[in-house]
Amino acid sequence: MYTPPNKTQSPYLPFGDRQDAPFYFTDILSVKQFQRKDLDYIFGVAHEMSEMVRRIGTFDLLKGKILANLFYEPSTRTMSSFTAAMERLGGSVIPINEVRYSSVSKGESLPDTVRTLECYADVIVLRHPEVGSVATAAKFTRKPIINAGDGIGEHPTQALLDLFTILEELGHVDGLTITMLGDLKYGRTVHSLSRLLSLFDVKLNYVSPKILPMPEEVVKEVAEKNIVQKQYNTLDPVLAETDVLYVTRVQKERFEDLDSYEKVRNEFIISPEVMKGAKEKMIVMHPLPRVGEITMEVDDDPRAAYFRQMEYGLYVRMALLAIVLGKA
């Protein structure tokens, strides 16, 4: 019988780490594991990372440490920002993104793959198409695992960087009205973000095509925190009151039939015309990639925060790597 390892009490832990530090050797699987004080801690470290990058670019905090980047689904930002984060901290990366060229294509199981990588790496970042797969994989390794997206489940590091973006751009989260727009059914980033935002005093609007609403399970969890949530199928009623407009892509790869995808793919498009109805201080966010839901003409609007959002992501991922490896 296989017994999951207790990672923080493993005899294999490296010498010299601050083993009592929060999140040391802790898997990052879901935003549900965070309290507000944890966010203050993570964002404090992320802020220091941004200062260090600005001042010296690359430094040796994680010198000699190795990250395994294991991606079973496509990725540009998440994968390259984890790579950049590790390298800016002086560490190095084993990239496994073309799983068809790895032993996965020979039929190797996920538990065996992570047990292999733990022999070579200090931390594993994993993206996989099945909900819950990252949590299962985490049980099979004594090294910390970071969830980089598990199907339509969660994307906790994206939600952390989204929240950090709101804080850096607007200075606070309490009191804000956040409107999430697009594919709320299959978009894992909004599942994580709404759960994380429920730790604050916010109002949440969900605007989606009729067939792509926020899942009941998420709405129920957020309601338990006494957060006001309203659902709509058009943006008009809520645009003027919105402080953060969080736009998402319709997740084509999750549809069983492409006809339904085609019907809803262009239902919402943010253009300069739409932006005229928004607050002067509103920010537009998007986890990216965009495939037409925000026109390129919006990019010059100072309220378009989606490119800045990616840079904040680098600092948050640097912070997470340093924290789980006990070097923050």
Ramachandran area for residue 199 (φ above 0: left; ψ -120 to 50: alpha; else beta): alpha
Per the CB < 8 A criterion, the answer to whether 183 and 197 are in contact is: no
Tell which positions 55-114 bind ligand NCD, by CB under 6 A. 77-78
Whichever of 188 and 327 has its CB closer to ligand NCD, that residue is: 188
Compute the least distance from the CB of residue 230 to ligand NCD, in Å. Answer: 23
The residue within the footprint of ligand NCD, chosen from 249, 265, 317, 327 (CB under 6 A), is: 249
Per the CB < 8 A criterion, the answer to whether 180 and 214 are in contact is: yes
The residue within the footprint of ligand NCD, chosen from 91, 149, 156, 213 (CB under 6 A), is: 149
Whichever of 69 and 327 has its CB closer to ligand NCD, that residue is: 69
Judged by CB under 6 A, does residue 288 bind ligand NCD? Answer: yes
Give the integer Cα–Cα distance in Å for 213 and 42: 31
Whichever of 77 and 303 has its CB closer to ligand NCD, that residue is: 77
The residue within the footprint of ligand NCD, chosen from 188, 195, 317, 327 (CB under 6 A), is: 188
Q: Number of helices (H) and strands (E), helices first, in the chain?
A: 11, 9
**Can you state the angle between helices 306-324 and 77-88, rounded to 10 degrees?**
50
Name the strand (E) or helix (H) holding 206.
strand 203-207
| Signed CA dihedral, 41, 123, 73, 93: sign only | positive
Per the CB < 8 A criterion, the answer to whether 249 and 213 are in contact is: no
Whichever of 50 and 309 has its CB closer to ligand NCD, that residue is: 309
Judged by CB under 6 A, does residue 133 bind ligand NCD? Answer: no
Q: Dig out the tokens for 322 from the structure.
A: 């340093």
Whichever of 249 and 265 has its CB closer to ligand NCD, that residue is: 249
The residue within the footprint of ligand NCD, chosen from 50, 83, 177, 189 (CB under 6 A), is: 189
Whichever of 149 and 156 has its CB closer to ligand NCD, that residue is: 149
Name the strand (E) or helix (H) holding 231.
strand 228-232
Size of the site for ligand NCD (CB under 6 A): 10
Judged by CB under 6 A, does residue 287 bind ligand NCD? Answer: yes
Q: Which residues bind ligand NCD (CB under 6 A)?
A: 77-78, 149, 155, 158, 188-189, 249, 287-288
